[in-house]
């Protein structure tokens, strides 16, 4: 009997979640298109480009964002329905505890969480890269550069770079000052008019170089037309965007953070918070399932109106808490990992507290 109930609950949750997800994705596309249609037409985007490139690659990210809400609504709806029909009361009278009844919910939430984690880690980044490239080309006000003027990077322990301007599209740095140290003293200074990335050989080409090599008596000046060099600095380290982390798989994102840490770049906390938030986000499906089951497993005054209000309130507060905490982690005021975990841990404790105090 319990296995039949488990299968019934699991597949009902899956069916309702998919239905809610499809409805929300459709609504999201309609709203987004109505807001951006003028930009699309002004920039010359065709119908095929808009829906075959932009929205086709936006849907995976929409699904990632919507799944916790869809699962929460499914949990509230199904559990509330079973509670209103006294099915939960009958099951408890038959000797099935509330905790045992929660098992298929937990299995469903775990399967969905693992699925979304895999998609977010290895499938969605490629779609995000194509979508963001489309936004940069066809949508107004979509620039999300972290810095492209007066960029300071530490290439090694004894070498500091200052790039006055970096053109990400052409991958060229202009008016580059390089200072090399020997011990506590400056040993060499270079002023490079252009540093150009060579993708075929993965190295930089310096052009129009003024070199000053310092000695005890002053310095020796040399002008060099061009030279090739290999650095621990790559174009992605110089053209950082707030969306970079969302375009990388989990291993790539880890390497990216290590790379910008090694280069001495600032604002390192922001990509860390973004990556840790990506790791933690699928766990929100388990959290909202616990909260939804705890709220809806007991008949409450107001019926469906209560469940709708509770669903909207919890979803809104969850989102607000994530958005409020994230900037503090991005600025380094609290540890990035803690900033990513606080919203989920808070609502997990709330859900467990309600569940423990629910009439068994």
Give residue-wise pLDDT tens across range 272-301: 999 999 999 999 999 999 999 998 888 777
Stronger pLDDT, 279 or 169, i.e. the higher one: 279
Question: Which tens digits make up the pLDDT trace of 47-56?
Answer: 999 999 999 9
User: How far is Cα 128 from Cα 53, in angstroms, rounded to an integer?
Assistant: 11
Kindly state the average pLDDT of the residues 132-141: 82
Q: How confident is residue 143, by pLDDT bands cut at 50, 70 and 90? A: low
3-class secondary structure, 106: helix
Q: Can you say how many angstroms the Cα of residue 234 is from the centroid of all Cα atoms in its chain?
A: 22
Question: Which tens digits make up the pLDDT trace of 176-196?
Answer: 999 999 888 899 999 999 999
Nearest to 29 by CA among 47, 55, 49: 55
User: How far is Cα 285 from Cα 287, in angstroms, rounded to an integer?
Assistant: 5
CA atoms within 13 A on the CB side of 185: 7
Determine the pLDDT at residue 60: 96
How many other β-carbons are positioned within 10 Å of the β-carbon of residue 298?
Answer: 15
Average pLDDT score, the chain: 89
Q: How confident is residue 250, by pLDDT bands cut at 50, 70 and 90? A: very high
Q: How confident is residue 144, by pLDDT bands cut at 50, 70 and 90? A: low
Nearest to 125 by CA among 52, 64, 51: 64
233, 155 Cβ separation under 8 angstroms: yes
Kindly state the average pLDDT of the residues 15-33: 95
User: How far is Cα 247 from Cα 156, in angstroms, rounded to an integer?
Assistant: 27
Kindly state the average pLDDT of the residues 31-41: 90
Determine the pLDDT at residue 31: 94
Q: How confident is residue 359, by pLDDT bands cut at 50, 70 and 90? A: low
- pLDDT above 90 (res 25): yes
What single DSSP character describes residue 241? B
Which range of 36-40, 150-154, 166-170, 195-199 scores highest in mean pLDDT? It is: 195-199
| % of the chain beyond a pLDDT of 70 | 94
Residues 6+ apart with CB under 8 A from 258: none
- pLDDT above 60 (res 142): no
Determine the pLDDT at residue 62: 95
Question: Which tens digits make up the pLDDT trace of 90-127?
Answer: 888 888 889 999 999 999 999 999 999 999 999 999 99
Determine the pLDDT at residue 145: 65
Q: How confident is residue 147, by pLDDT bands cut at 50, 70 and 90? A: low
88, 101 Cβ separation under 8 angstroms: yes
Handedness of CA 267, 269, 346, 294 (dihedral sign): positive
Residue 97 tokens read as 């505890």
Determine the pLDDT at residue 140: 65
Q: How confident is residue 268, by pLDDT bands cut at 50, 70 and 90? A: confident
- Which segments of the chain does DSSP mark as H helices, in order? 2-42, 47-49, 55-84, 87-93, 98-101, 103-122, 124-138, 235-238, 250-262, 269-280, 283-296, 304-330, 336-356
């Amino acid at each position: 009997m319990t296995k039949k109930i488990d299968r019934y609950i699991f597949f009902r949750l899956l069916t309702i979640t998919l239905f809610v997800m499809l409805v929300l994705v459709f609504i999201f596309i309609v709203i987004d298109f109505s807001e951006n249609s003028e930009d699309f037409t002004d920039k010359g985007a065709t119908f095929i480009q808009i829906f075959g490139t932009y929205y086709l690659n936006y849907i995976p990210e929409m699904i990632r964002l919507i799944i916790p809400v869809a699962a929460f609504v499914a949990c509230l709806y199904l559990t509330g329905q079973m509670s209103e029909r006294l099915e939960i009361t009958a099951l408890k009278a038959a000797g099935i505890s509330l905790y045992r009844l929660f098992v298929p919910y937990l299995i469903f939430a775990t399967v969905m969480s693992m699925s979304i984690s895999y998609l977010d880690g290895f499938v969605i980044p490629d779609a995000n890269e194509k979508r963001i490239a489309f936004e940069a080309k066809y949508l107004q006000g979509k620039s999300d550069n972290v810095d492209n003027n007066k960029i300071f990077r530490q290439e090694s322990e004894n070498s500091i770079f200052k790039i006055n301007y970096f053109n990400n599209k052409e991958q060229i740095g202009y008016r580059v000052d390089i200072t090399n140290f020997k011990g506590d003293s400056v040993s060499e200074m270079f002023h490079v008019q252009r540093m150009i990335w060579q993708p075929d050989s993965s190295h930089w080409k310096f052009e129009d170089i003024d070199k000053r090599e310092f000695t005890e008596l002053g310095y020796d000046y040399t002008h060099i037309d061009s030279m090739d060099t290999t650095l621990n600095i790559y174009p992605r380290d110089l053209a950082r965007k707030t969306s970079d982390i969302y375009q990388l798989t989990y291993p790539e994102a880890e390497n990216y953070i290590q790379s910008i840490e090694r280069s001495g770049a600032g604002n390192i906390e922001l990509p860390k918070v973004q990556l840790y938030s990506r790791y933690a986000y699928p766990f929100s499906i388990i959290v909202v399932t616990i909260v939804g089951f705890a709220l809806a497993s007991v008949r409450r005054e107001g019926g469906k109106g209560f469940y709708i209000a509770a669903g909207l309130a919890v979803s809104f507060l969850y989102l607000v808490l994530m958005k409020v905490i994230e900037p503090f982690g991005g600025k380094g005021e609290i540890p990035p990992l803690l900033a990513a975990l606080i919203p989920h841990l808070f609502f997990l404790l709330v859900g467990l507290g309600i569940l423990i105090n629910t009439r068994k």
